Structure 1
Amino acid sequence: MVSTRVDELNSERHRFALGIFMAVVVAHWAEHLAQAVQIYVLGIPRPAAGGVLGSVLPWLVHSEALHYGYALVMLIGLVALRPGFVGRARTWWTAALVIQVWHHFEHLLLLGQVVAGANLAGRPVPTSVLQLAVPRVELHLFYNAVVFAPMVVAMILHRKPSADERALTRCQCARPVLV
C-alpha cells in the first residue's frame, strides 16, 4: 500500500505534489525574507521582527515545535518526492536533501533544548550549533537559501530533461518535446 502511494506520488501525481510542496517552501521562504526586511529595511528590533505571520501571531516565531515541524515537513517532502527525479535533477534534489538533513538536525537540537529546559553553551535561548557563530535570522536565511537553490535547479532540470533522462522519467512534469 505504501509502495503504491509512493509510486503514485512519483509518477502521475508528481507534478501536483511538487506544486503543493513548492508553494509551502516559497511561503516559508517569503516569511524569512519578510523578517529580514523588517530588521534591515524597516529597523524593527530583532525580537519584534516576526515576518508577516509572526507580526499577527508572535508566538509562531518563538515556537520551536512549529519550526521543527516545518523542518520535518521539508525533510519528508524531499525524501518522498526524490524517486520522481532522474539524472541531473536527482543529483541536485539530493543535494537539497543532504543540506536539509543538517538543517533538520539543528532544529531537532533547538527543540531538544526547549524540552530539556537547558540551552547549548549556557545561552539564554535555545541555540543551534552554527548559531554559536552566526545570528539566528541570518543563519535561517542562509539555510533556506542553500536548500532552496538546488531545489530550483532540480526543478528546472526535471522540467527540461535530456533525451536519456526523459526516457527514465515516470511522471509528466517534463515539458513536451516540440518537433
Structure 2
Amino acid sequence: MSCLARHADRLATGSTVLRRRLTTGLQAWVARGRRDDLTGWRVALGCWARLALLGLAGYLLWRLVRAVPNLLWLLSTAWILAACRAGKTAPEDQDEQGGDASRDASVEAVRRLLLEVMGDADAVHLRTVLARLQQDGQWEGRTVTDMRARLTLLGIPADRNVKVGGIPTWGVRRRDLEAPSPTDAEQTSTEPSTAA
C-alpha cells in the first residue's frame, strides 16, 4: 500500500470513528433528557428539548457558515486533523491496544464469523454479515463502511465487486479467507524439507 493510500485509509477510518463517536455521544446526551420521575408524554419532554437544541445549533452553524464561508476552511481542517488522529490510534478498532496476540485472536474470530455466515457459498456480502451481527445484538448503529474499516485494520481483504446472487457489491471471498497468512507462508517456506 502506498503512502498516499495509507494516509487516505487513515483519514477514512478516522472519519468513521469520529462520526460514530459524535453520533453515539449525541444520542446518549439526548437520551439523558428522559425523566423517569414523570409519567405519560412528559417523560420525553427533556429528549424533545435536547433535540430542539441540537436543531437550533445546527441552524446557527449553517447561518454562520453562510455569513462567513471561509469558516469552512477552519472546520474542515479541524475535522481532518481530528480524523487523522482518530484513524492513527482508533483504540476501539484495535482491540483496546491489546497487542499482537489479541489482534491475531480478533482476526481469527472475524475469519470464523465470515466463513460461518458464508456457509457453502464462495463469497458473502458485507451487508449480509452486518445484518447477521445486528440480528445477534452486535454492531448496532454501524454501517458497511464501518465493517470495511474494521476488516482493513485486521488485514482481511474486502472487494467492491463480489457477486452473490448475481449482484456485485462489497464483500469477502472464501479464497481470500482461507489463503495462508504471510507469517504462515514464511514458516512453511523456512521449514526443512523431509522428502526421502
Which protein is richer in strand relative to its size? 2
Q: What is the TM-score when the length of structure 2 is the normalising length?
A: 0.30
**More helix by proportion, 1 or 2?**
1
Q: Which has the larger radius of gyration?
A: 2
